[in-house]
Structure 1
Amino acid sequence: MIKLPHDFTNKMKELLGEEYDEFIKSYDSPRSYGLRINTLKINIDDFLKITPFNLEGIPWAEEGFYYAEDDRPGKHPHHECGLYYIQEPSAMAAGTLLAPQPGERVLDLCAAPGGKSTHIASKLQGQGFLLSNEINQSRARVLSQNIERMGIKNCVVTNESPGRLAQRFKGYFHRILVDAPCSGEGMFRKDETAVKEWSLENVLHCAIRQDEILDSAAEMLMPGGILLYSTCTFSPEENEKTIEKFLKKHSEFSIQEVHPYTGFESGRPEWSDSRNPKLRRSIRLWPHKLRGEGHFIAVLRKTDGEDSPKPKVKRKQVDKQYLKDYYDFANKYLNIVPEGEFIIFGDNLYIVPEEMLSLDGLRVVRPGLHLGTIKKNRFEPSHALALSLKASEAKNNVFLDSSSKETLLYLKGESIKLQCSDGWNLVNVDGYSLGWGKAVSGTLKNHYPKGLRWV
């Protein structure tokens, strides 16, 4: 059994009373494992036909499935193709309850490592705009890599404070997700570091930071918009009490009732200072009530305020020679040429989502879909472009089987002998894009990124 902090067990015993014994027994049980199918790249039925794993549906996420611990989906080529995201089952509830619609502008304010952002993107289905932000620089890079792996085209990744973003995006988003940094009590069964770092003082510190993040989020939401607040902790100070303070400060918000999926429990008004009965509309996910870790969710609607019309954004024009090299590549090797608002970052060519406001003055990790790099009088396509393409969108394709030795060689970064057209080829595994190779006389030179190669 996990050695839990003494102050934590005393606190939970006081809060839960007779329910405490059932709660504490859950720490003797093995945790559940989940993956979420990336419906941007494959539909659910098609995935279930090709997956080697024995999967069982997660009730609150139609794309989500439990898998057995010994399946190890992180070491399968389908993972590298971005066909699924490995995500803790309870964490999938946030994307479901946020319910973004294609065409909307959505902000994931505390987005790393990317589970909830990639869930949002799959629901947007390439329509609309997703801004995924992470204040920690190293975690923002991991977030960007996951956005790339899932083939997402309409996302910008930033490395900013919520306050700085609020200055730029007042009243701009239809939906905002605040998966707030928290004391992590709900992850104790999954993450030993969360146990070691926990303290009563840190709970209170997290609650203060959550108040500030929510205030910034409130500024960026348009009237009628939805703000979903979530944590992976049991602490009332970070959950019901945080929402209680937010509603007192922001009378233009109200808590919405949500679909009560099996295992979902109501929030606890009795754990707040005001005992506001509407706090029952918030949701608690308990490890002794369902197959997942501990989470809290409150869905808030903004009922009043001012819209912020989208201003026209003037961006620096891209050198026509850069675009000529890109179009030379695209017309030669692609059946569908990605078009949009082009920008250059260093030697890298991107398409910025149409709904993105000015990039000036923001710390931007990924300004949109990375098309490739401008070399001397030539264009080299990016791994992100490969993962965003379907086989039908490329003129030259290599088709490999996920269990073949050629697939393993490709993932290890080695060249492959096979019959294919000279020049750039989109490498596909079981029909889904994995990366680029450049063929010369029956040898496919490997362009799988060095940092992603299997050892």
Structure 2
Amino acid sequence: MKLPVAFEEKMKDLLGEEFQDYIDCYEEKRYYGLRVNTLKISVEDFQKICPWKLEPIPWIENGFYYDGDSIQPAKHPYYAAGLYYLQEPSAMTPANRLPVQPREKVLDVCAAPGGKATELASKLGREGVLAANDISSSRAKGLLKNLELSGVGNLLVLSEEPGKLISYFREYFDKILIDAPCSGEGMFRKEKRMVKAWEEHGPEFFSKIQKSIIAQAAEMLKPGGMILYSTCTFDRRENEETILSLLEQFPEFEICEMKGYEGFRPGIPKDDREDLVKTVRIFPHCMKGEGHYLALLKKGSEGCENTETNLERQKKQTVPGSAGGLKKIPEELEEFLGHLTLPLDPSRLDLKKERVYYMPAELPDLKGIRFLRTGLLLGELKKNRFEPSQALAMYLKMEEYDQVLNLSVEDERVHRYLKGETLDVSDLCSNSSQKKQKAGSGRKQKDKGWSLVCVDGYPLGWGKLASGTLKNKYLPGWRWQS
């Protein structure tokens, strides 16, 4: 692979004696990664049902390598059930190293296509708020699909300039992840087209954008909160110098240690800031993954002027349950909700035209902001009926709905369902097998109405059951083509 001369000279200066090892790694195959979605399944349970040979990624607890030349995990029903996300191994590191806790408010500033946002959501569980933003509306649509596929409900999917978010979310978030747009030097081996892009827009172009984004994020972080900044490039201007610009502009920030790994390399000190060695560099000749840079920062209370005023203003803007609740729950919605064992707070239900949402708690007033989704879309109110959404199906656990069609992954009807076909399921409705699947649910199995279709106990979508036939309600835009 021919690399730009200017890039090679920079890497010689950066790596010294290791430069040839770095060049030699371009002859190696790229590494493929699979990250288990612990929002839906534990790592141990996934390993029991996984049909392929996997190798653990040693610095990612729920990450595995797979042979991308011989298997296609994206074509398996478990992928359609959201049990895992396909992600380059080094790219799993930022979300893994940001210490998110349940009930926190978390922002992923540049979130598309969703690899990091879905992992942040798994750490939150069903509590707190995940705001996932991408300035590109087309990329944000793909982000929304990946979040819904992963079963995330406590979300906001935004499509705004980060600077515009400040007035809505000043000192609101406990944790912020910035996987910043960058020159992509760490991805040259994986994606050769990145070399041409680097020649068109190099580090100097991106460093200005990065410094702006990290400064904007600093204003949205609570005192005591943490930012994880990352890039997939090697250039000091995009990495250590971006961190320096933040520290100069916001002296209340400090660089934190993060959980290590033997292949991690320390950041490069600059301008007497020896603490930059706490940041992390990932090189593809040192680890089985592509290039990355990470810095974990904490915001102290010193220098945070008007903090009390900001927090008071935010409290005034926040409405209980985000939407105030429906004054009266429509009869058809109430009938459907009766089939759920999932506890829902009525004050967090919101109706926008025909669509019903379950909102995260304690949201600020979002009027005037551009977003694709606020909260979990439960479904739509049609004439005299309620139709549950694909997002709700992916959010639910099998035991949280009282009418289930649970198919084995070996059943050819699983693939037919994912293609959108009508299914004959009379064998599942005419004997006791279906009741056994729901053992312990305490609910009587019916043979008509909305059914949650599952594969090996994990939801795929909805179907409308009548007389042993399942009318397919799998979301048309998600259907398999072959």
Tell me whether the two structures share a fold, i.e. TM-score over 0.5: yes
Asked whether 1:335 is paired with 2:341, we answer: yes
SS in structure 2 of the partner of residue 198 of structure 1: helix
AA paired with 1:298?
Answer: A
Indicate the residue corresponding to 1:152 in structure 2. 152
Contact 1:171 1:221 in 2 (8 A): yes
Is 1:281 the counterpart of 2:247? The answer is: no
Distance 2:264 2:398 in 1: 41
1:177-188 aligned within 5 A: 177-188=177-188
Deviations 1:295-339 (A, max 9, x none): 0000011112225254253466676576332112221x3233533
**Superposed counterparts of 1:9-408, under 5 Å:** 9-69=8-68, 70-199=70-199, 201-269=201-269, 272=270, 274-304=271-301, 305=304, 306=307, 308-309=311-312, 310-312=314-316, 313-314=318-319, 323-331=330-338, 333-336=339-342, 338-340=344-346, 341-408=348-415
Question: How far off its partner does 1:133 sit?
Answer: 0.9
CA distance in 2, matches of 1:392, 1:277: 53
Letter in 2 for 1:153: G
CA RMSD of aligned residues (A): 1.7
Residues 95 and 116, structure 1, Cα contact 8 Å, conserved in 2: yes
Q: 2:91 corresponds to which letter in structure 1?
A: A
Provide runs of 4+ in structure 1 moved above 4 Å.
Answer: 314-322
Q: When the two structures are superposed, what TM-score results if normalisation uses the length of structure 1? A: 0.95
Aligned AA for 2:472? Answer: N
CA contact (8 A) 2:452 2:459 kept: yes
C-alpha separation in 1, matches of 2:191 and 2:453: 36
Pairwise CA distance, 1:4: 2.5
Report the 3-state secondary structure (helix = DSSP H, G, I; strand = E; otherwise coil) of the residue aligned with 1:20. Answer: helix
Which residue in 1 is equivalent to 2:433?
none
Contact 1:398 1:428 in 2 (8 A): yes
SS of 1:261's equivalent in the other structure is coil
* 1:3-23 alpha-carbon deviations (Å, 9 max, x no partner): 323322232123222211001
CA-CA distance at 1:208 after TM superposition: 0.2
Count matched residues: 450
Corresponding residue SS for 2:330: helix
Query: Quick check: 1:81–1:434 contact (8 Å CA) kept in 2?
Result: yes
2:300 counterpart letter in structure 1 = T
Residue equivalent to 1:439: 465
Deviations 1:166-191 (A, max 9, x none): 11111111111111111111111222
Q: Cα offset for 1:241?
A: 1.2
Larger CA deviation: 317-326 vs 409-418: 317-326
| Preserved CA contact (<8 Å) 1:330 1:337 | no
Q: CA deviation at 1:406?
A: 0.4
How many percent of aligned residue pairs carry the same amino acid? Answer: 47
Counterpart of 2:62 in 1: which secondary structure?
Answer: strand
> What per-residue deviation string (whole Å, max 9, x for no partner) do you get for residues 221-242 of structure 1?
1111111100011111100111
The AA in structure 2 aligned to 1:433 is: P
Measure the CA separation in 1 of the matches of 2:196 and 2:475.
Answer: 35
> What is the TM-score normalised by the length of structure 2?
0.90
Distance in 1 (alpha carbons) for counterparts of 2:194 and 2:112: 16
Query: Mean Cα displacement is larger for which, 308-317 or 87-96?
Result: 308-317
Give 1:343 shift.
Answer: 2.1
Summarize deviations over 1:14-70 as a string: whole Å, max 9, x none.
322221100111111111111111111111111100010111211221111111112
Shift of 1:200: 7.3
Return the offset for 1:397.
0.6
Q: Distance in 2 between matches of 1:9 and 1:298?
A: 25
Cα distance in 2 for partners of 1:412, 1:234 equals 43
Alpha-carbon displacement from aligned partner over 1:270-301 (angstroms, at most 9, x marks no partner)? xx4x1521111100011000011100000011
Distance in 2 of aligned mates of 1:176 and 1:43: 25
Cα distance in 2 between the residues matched to 1:21 and 1:104: 45
Give me the whole-angstrom Cα distance separating, in 2, the residues matched to 1:234 and 1:352.
40
Q: Secondary structure at the match of 2:417?
A: helix
Give unmatched runs, 5+ long, in structure 1: none
**Are 2:4 and 1:5 aligned?**
yes
Matched, 1:417 2:424: yes
1:380 maps to amino acid: E
Per-residue CA deviation, residues 214-266 of structure 1 (Å, 9 max, x unaligned), is 11111011111111100011111100111112211211111111222121110
> Per the alignment, in what secondary structure is the counterpart of residue 61 of structure 1?
coil
* Letter in structure 2 aligned against 1:334: L
Deviates more, 1:252-261 or 1:428-437: 252-261
By how many angstroms is 1:125 displaced? 1.5
Which deviates the most, 380-389 or 347-356? 347-356
Secondary structure of the equivalent of 1:71? coil
- Whether the 8 Å CA contact 1:156–1:366 is kept in 2: the answer is yes
Greater mean deviation of Cα atoms: 41-50 or 304-313:
304-313
Which whole-Å CA distance do the structure 2 matches of 1:336 and 1:256 have between them?
Answer: 39
- Residues 322 and 98 of structure 1, relative CA distance in 2, 3 Å threshold: same
